[in-house]
Amino acid sequence: MTKNAFILNFLKLYNMLWVLLLPLLKKNSRLKHGFEKQIKADHLSRADIWIQAASAGEAYLACELIKTLIPKTPIRILITTITIQGREILTANLTQNTVHNNINLKIEWFPFDIPKTIQRAVQNIQPQVMILLETEIWPALLFYLKQKKTKIAIINARLSKGSFNLYRRTRMLWKHLSPDLICATSIRDANRYRQLFGSTTIQTMSNIKFETMKTDSTDKYIHKNLTQIFPGTLPVTILASVRRQEEKELILLIKRIKEQFPNQVIALFPRHMHRVKAWEKHFSNHKLQFDLRSRISTPATHPSIILWDRFVELKSAYAHASVGFVGGSLKPLGGQNFLEPAILGSTTITGPYNDDFAWVGKEIYDQKIVIKKKNWQTVADTIIEVLKRPCDRTKRAKQAREYIQSCKGGTQKACDNINNLLVCSSNE
């Protein structure tokens, strides 16, 4: 069977799957706003560069790219997104004042990867360059772009272990749909993409998220409220973004640090608010006294455990932490954001599993800006050690911010690659 025959047969089956999925997608709350446009291509018009920014996270990356991009000649750029959140971020951040004069920018809904719809979309847009962000791998899109000889790049590319295992099972398909360039945010991600797309030029780059990372102070109003709860008379241990799969270990950890260093305030932040009830039950079953954050109106001047049942206060709470453990890392769950507490000077500890944050670089552990431990016992022992010998948080914050500053530059590298692809496309 020829390459095109193989892919066309796949696309027939793929199209049937979309027919079955569409009624379900129409009911999805995240997709309903642009649904009618996402099943069509009539709203899409010619553009030299097409950038796909799936949702909120990718939209912020796209904003950084467009703000940095300086084309040598006037060009038309189309940015598409799948969610209303992505669209709001793009329209709010990309204004006439933030975009170069040579850029004619349009923001639209991304059509679903239904083969016939995507074929019409590519025909309408006829892009010279297609930019996909992070893990945007759509078979119909790649196939019809390659038929049009569009230059394709995946920028800020990452591939989680779960996604990689899924794509690897179908690598016979992907080897025929290779992009021209992949700029991965870590060596690990680059190696994973290399196994899927053998003929693609693959580079590494600093994550654009380093450019978007705020290292300034926290929300002043929230910070003031938390100062009334954490007056500074006792050290504060924060156990943050704890996932359901880690709860048993965290109970044991809390018991150990409370027993060996009783004179502290322990603040526990579940990753998901619906787990608050489960934590209330855990504490009651283990006879651990606790207070709900929503019921606290006086300063925590005595040793206590606070179960956080309010959203959005975690980042500001880090500014009061002597030491913080960031969850999602004791089990292979990808990890959670450990940069926020480090930036604010808290001694920051994680477990061994941080696959989703491989882009930060192992140097952050080598320099002990963030401390990685292999299990809950060693995490607990490190917390106790820090409580007994407090660190200089000003020094730690400075070290973390200098590290982030040293990792910037990915956006400019991505823009240089986009300009080069545009030149190559024009010369062909």
Q: Is the pLDDT of residue 2 over 90?
A: no
172 confidence band (pLDDT: 50, 70, 90): confident
Where does 102-212 show beta strands of DSSP type E?
103-109, 129-133, 151-157, 181-184, 201-204
Position 212 scores a pLDDT of 84
Contact by Cβ (8 Å): 44, 144 = no
Q: Is the pLDDT of residue 1 over 70?
A: no
Tokens of 325: 């453990």
Q: Name the pTM for this structure.
A: 0.85
Mean pLDDT over the full length of the chain: 93
Position 216 scores a pLDDT of 63
Q: What angle do CA 273, 277, 282 make, to 5 degrees?
A: 120
161 confidence band (pLDDT: 50, 70, 90): confident
How far, in Å, CA of 292 to CA of 277, rounded?
Answer: 11
Query: Rounded to 10 degrees, what is the CA torsion of 413, 417, 418, 421?
Result: 180
Neighbours of 187 (CB within 10 A): 12
Domains and CATH numbers, the chain: 30-206+409-427 (3.40.50.11720), 220-405 (3.40.50.2000)
Distances, alpha carbon 421 to alpha carbons 118, 147, 418, 426, in Å: 22, 17, 5, 9
Q: What percent of the chain has pLDDT over 90?
A: 78
How far, in Å, CA of 42 to CA of 38, rounded?
Answer: 10
Q: What is the DSSP string of 259-280?
A: HH--SSEEEEEESSGGGHHHHH
222-257 tens-digit pLDDT: 878 898 899 889 999 999 999 999 999 999 999 999
51-69 tens-digit pLDDT: 999 988 899 999 999 999 9
Question: Which residue, among 121, 50, 46, 60, has the nearest Cα to 88 in the 3D structure?
Answer: 60
Tokens of 275: 């787990």
Q: Give, for 34, the enclosing helix (H) or strand (E).
A: none
312-331 tens-digit pLDDT: 899 899 999 999 999 999 99
